[in-house]
């Protein structure tokens, strides 16, 4: 598989993975990947280059797909949807941890905090965030929920009626994380999600 080529130095290379036995088997239309593509298109100042994969709930297949996206295609960020609950076929976290070099536990903790604002069953979610690092490349891999509404809430957080952020979404921390692991400089539209960076890490406004 040929490595992805950036069309701009700050172009984010993103792998999108929807994990579902039924969707991958053609029994119903996947909604996770379209939801992620739509959200990224709206949130990012510089459009991302995305490549998607639809796979069954199989540990080895998921792990192999994550390796392909990071090691062969060179993705900076990989977002998975589905397969993070307690059911026996929910193995996305295990497959993700199997390819990780380091875990980033704050992402999973924050995702559950966001979901708990809506449903008490958020504590059943086992989503994880990890880094996968090779000799010359590193990527952030995040497990997201499977439902489009939950994907949006998890990424951009919760606001009150006046538009003030009540619970930050996890994507607020993603651009700076990508900076720290050697990826492109990612900027977001603040009305969707405000990316946080220390002052010393911010580029001057053009």
pLDDT at 26: 74
Q: Work out the mean pLDDT of the chain and round it to a whole number.
A: 94
Q: Are 104 and 68 in contact (CB under 8 A)?
A: no
Mean pLDDT, residues 107-113 taken together: 96
- Secondary structure E strands in the chain: 13-19, 49-55, 77-81, 102-103, 129-133, 138-144, 157-159, 165-168
Angle at 90 between CA 88 and CA 172, to 5 degrees: 155
Pairing mode, if any, of strands 77-81 and 13-19? parallel
Residue with tokens 């280059």: 49
Enumerate the domain spans of the chain. Answer: 13-190
Mean pLDDT, residues 42-66 taken together: 97
CA–CA distance, 130 with 115 (Å, rounded to integer): 20
Mean pLDDT, residues 55-81 taken together: 97
CA–CA distance, 48 with 15 (Å, rounded to integer): 10
Mean pLDDT, residues 113-125 taken together: 92
Count of CA atoms in the C-beta half-sphere (13 A) of 38: 9
Q: What is the pLDDT of residues 127-156, one digit of tens each?
A: 999 999 999 999 999 999 989 999 999 999
pLDDT at 159: 86
How buried is 97 (Cβ within 10 angstroms: 0-12 exposed, 13-18 middle, 19+ buried)?
middle
Q: What is the pLDDT of residues 24-41, one digit of tens each?
A: 777 778 899 999 999 999
Mean pLDDT, residues 177-198 taken together: 96
**φ/ψ (deg, to 5) at 21:** -60, -45
Angle at 103 between CA 87 and CA 121, to 5 degrees: 35
Which architecture characterizes domain 13-190 according to CATH?
3-Layer(aba) Sandwich (3.40)
Q: How confident is the model at residue 206 (pLDDT cuts 50, 70, 90)?
A: low
Mean pLDDT, residues 162-180 taken together: 93
Q: What is the pLDDT of residues 74-99, one digit of tens each?
A: 999 999 999 999 999 999 999 999 99
Q: How confident is the model at residue 163 (pLDDT cuts 50, 70, 90)?
A: confident
What token pair was written down for 97?
């941890």
């Amino acid at each position: 598989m040929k490595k992805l080529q950036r069309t701009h130095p700050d172009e984010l290379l993103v792998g999108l993975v929807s994990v579902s036995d039924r969707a991958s088997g053609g029994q119903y239309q996947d909604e996770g990947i379209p939801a992620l593509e739509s959200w990224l298109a709206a949130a990012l100042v510089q459009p991302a280059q995305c490549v998607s994969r639809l796979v069954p709930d199989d540990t080895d297949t998921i792990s192999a797909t994550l390796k392909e996206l990071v090691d062969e295609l060179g993705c900076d960020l990989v977002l998975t949807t589905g397969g993070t609950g307690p059911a026996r076929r929910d193995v996305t976290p295990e497959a993700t941890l199997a390819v990780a070099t380091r875990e980033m536990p704050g992402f999973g903790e924050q995702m559950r905090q966001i979901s708990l604002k809506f449903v008490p069953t958020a504590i059943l979610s086992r989503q994880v965030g990890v880094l996968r690092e090779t000799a010359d490349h590193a990527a952030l891999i995040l497990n997201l929920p499977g439902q489009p509404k939950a994907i949006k809430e998890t990424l951009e957080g919760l606001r009150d009626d006046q538009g003030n952020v009540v619970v930050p979404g996890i994507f607020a921390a993603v651009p700076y994380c990508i900076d720290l692991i050697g990826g492109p400089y990612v900027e977001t539209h603040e009305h969707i999600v405000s990316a946080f960076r220390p002052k010393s890490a911010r580029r001057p406004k053009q």
